[in-house]
Amino acid sequence: MSELTRKAEKLDAADELASKRGEFVLDDVVYLDGNSLGALPVAVPGRVEDVVRRQWGELRIRSWTEGGWWTAPERIGDRIAPLVGAAPGQIVVGDSTSVNVFKAVVGAVRLARPTGPERDEIVVDATTFPTDGYIAESAARMTGCTVRPVEPSSLPDVLGERTAAVLLNHVDYRSGRLHDLPSLTAAVHAAGAVAVWDLCHSAGALPVGLDEHGVDLAVGCTYKYLNGGPGSPAFLYVRADVQERFDSPLPGWNSHAEPFGMRPSYEPAAGAMRGRVGTPDILSMLALEAALEVWDGVTVDAVRAKSLALTDFFLECVAAYVPEGRVSCVTPLAHGERGSQVALRCPDAGDVMKRLIERGVVGDFRHPDVLRFGFTPLYVGFAEVERAARVLAEVLA
Ligand SMILES: Cc1ncc(COP(=O)(O)O)c(C=O)c1O
């Protein structure tokens, strides 16, 4: 037994989250792609069966009221809230992340211009996930703004009187770099602008502290570290004290103050409900609600501590096993700058990932040369991490 195998055994034995793995449907594949699609929680299939057969099949329309379908978007929002450091009443679940980015960015520009169009720039993380950039560009055209791309570390240099809204990723999807949400939010506010954070790669992986750091608006997906299933609905956070001024660019009947009044004119609902649009996607939404039960008794701090231990150990194993110079790490080594993934640059990354998957180690490939490995602390163990690095070294040898 090698020294690293022994170390993995010890780390697994001391892992306080180890029993959580049993709450997921997994096999002997080393699954390091939970930052793309989280694994299936054991409770989900039975719940979906109940929602379809009993709630829909038997109760039919009554489920909207008696079964709690109507209130699901805010109820599930409140279940996500403690995972991202938010008090209840500020998160609504529904629509895709892309749609919520649109609501948030246009809503942010409107918040930043209480008396008319003065501020005319939307600042966007230059390495952002493509959809955020496309939507910011469209939002800019609609609101008479221009988009200004920036490396998040240089954000303070471009902020000013013209800045209306700033859209940033908490963790960069490709490199795994964690951006400094508290100080960047403070800089946005010092310039009089509105901060929108994309939490897709941090929600459920590390503490976010939305309320503590005064974030204005945030969006995030639920199919990565929250394990809600393919295409599960996203969430939108609107801080309590800006809710009354939040003017959604998609004012549907579900966010009306009196949805069943069927009024010709729009009057927005109070609270998180203001972020809704149309009829919620109940099947996906209730699958997500079942998936969130794995968080019972789990703190985000414990998840973060294990996440850092997993990524540290992976880097240690890669350094020990992989021939020098064959890969270079794109993810920052400093804990304060690392999300819950490790991205390794390697010239033939697409082919390498194919061979890893054939050998039972699943990560993913990001164009043009990045091997991405996501570490979900609720179900990934240290022995698996050692095996992944060992197989990677064999594939690269
Ligand atoms: C950082 C980030 N933002 C936005 C999105 C888009 O999410 P969706 O396709 O669910 O709208 C993704 C999807 O992976 C993402 O990683």
pLDDT in tens, 323-344: 999 999 999 999 999 999 999 9
Torsion angle of the four alpha carbons 374, 375, 380, 386, in this order, in degrees rounded to the nearest 10: 90
pLDDT at 115: 83
Cβ proximity of 235 and 93 under 8 Å: yes
> What three-state secondary structure class fits 40?
strand
Query: How far apart are the CA of 343 and the centre of ligand 1, in A?
Result: 18
CA–CA gap between residue 240 and residue 271 (Å, rounded): 7
pLDDT category of residue 365 using cuts at 50, 70 and 90:
very high
19 — phi, psi (to 5°)? -70, -15
Closest CA to 173 of 114, 227, 143, 132: 132
Q: Is any atom of ligand 1 closer than 6 Å to the C-beta of 364? A: no
Cβ proximity of 29 and 382 under 8 Å: no
Cβ proximity of 115 and 132 under 8 Å: no
The string of pLDDT tens digits covering residues 62-99 is 999 999 999 999 999 999 999 999 999 999 999 999 99
Q: Is any atom of ligand 1 closer than 6 Å to the C-beta of 97? A: yes
Q: Report, as residue numbers or ranges, the catalytic residues.
A: 129, 198, 223-224, 372
Binding residues: 97-98, 129-132, 198, 201, 223, 253, 279
Q: Is the pLDDT of residue 139 over 90?
A: yes
Query: Whose CA is closest to atom 5 on ligand 1?
Result: 97
Q: Is any atom of ligand 1 closer than 6 Å to the C-beta of 24? A: no
CA–CA gap between residue 268 and residue 142 (Å, rounded): 21
Residues 6+ apart with CB under 8 A from 67: 55, 59
The string of pLDDT tens digits covering residues 145-189 is 999 999 999 999 999 999 999 999 999 999 999 999 999 999 999
Query: How far apart are the CA of 297 and the centre of ligand 1, in A?
Result: 28
3-state helix, strand, coil in the chain (%, to 5): 45, 15, 40
Query: How far apart are the CA of 239 and the centre of ligand 1, in A?
Result: 21
Residues 6+ apart with CB under 8 A from 262: 253
The string of pLDDT tens digits covering residues 89-99 is 999 999 999 99
pLDDT category of residue 116 using cuts at 50, 70 and 90:
confident
Q: Is any atom of ligand 1 closer than 6 Å to the C-beta of 5? A: no
**Mean pLDDT on 135-139:** 98
Q: Is the pLDDT of residue 19 over 90?
A: yes
CA–CA gap between residue 163 and residue 68 (Å, rounded): 41
Q: Which two tokens stand for residue 93?
A: 């679940």
The string of pLDDT tens digits covering residues 207-223 is 999 999 999 999 999 99
> What three-state secondary structure class fits 32?
coil
Binding residues for pyridoxal 5'-phosphate: 97-98, 129-132, 198, 201, 223, 253, 279
Q: Which two tokens stand for residue 137?
A: 């560009």
Residue 227, Ramachandran bin (φ over 0: left; ψ between -120 and 50: alpha; else beta): left
Place of tokens 């990723």: 169
Query: How far apart are the CA of 97 and the centre of ligand 1, in A?
Result: 6
Cβ proximity of 363 and 356 under 8 Å: yes
pLDDT category of residue 117 using cuts at 50, 70 and 90:
confident
Cβ proximity of 177 and 171 under 8 Å: yes
Q: Is any atom of ligand 1 closer than 6 Å to the C-beta of 388? A: no
7 — phi, psi (to 5°)? -65, -40
CA–CA gap between residue 291 and residue 295 (Å, rounded): 8
| Strand (E) or helix (H) holding 45 | helix 43-50
Taking only Cα atoms into account, the Rg of the chain, rounded to an integer number of angstroms, comes to 22
pLDDT at 356: 98
pLDDT at 154: 96
DSSP annotation of 230: T
CA–CA distances in Å: residue 180 to residues 129, 208, 209: 17, 10, 11
C-beta atoms surrounding 255 within 10 Å: 25
Query: How far apart are the CA of 219 and the centre of ligand 1, in A?
Result: 10
Report the DSSP beta bridge partners of residue 344.
329, 371
205 — phi, psi (to 5°)? -115, -25
**Mean pLDDT on 285-295:** 98
**In 161-197, which positions are buried (b, 16+ CB within 10 angstroms) versus exposed (e)?**
ebbbbbbbbbbbbbbbbbbbbeebbebbbebebbbbb
Q: Three-class SS string for 114-156? A: CCCCCCCEEEEECCCCHHHHHHHHHHHHHHCCEEEEECHHHHH
Ligand 1 atom with minimal separation from the 231 CA: 10
> What three-state secondary structure class fits 261?
helix
Q: Is any atom of ligand 1 closer than 6 Å to the C-beta of 124? A: no
Closest CA to 256 of 278, 238, 241: 278
CA–CA distances in Å: residue 67 to residues 47, 53, 54, 57: 13, 13, 10, 12
pLDDT at 145: 98
Q: Is any atom of ligand 1 closer than 6 Å to the C-beta of 51? A: no
Q: Is the pLDDT of residue 1 over 80?
A: no
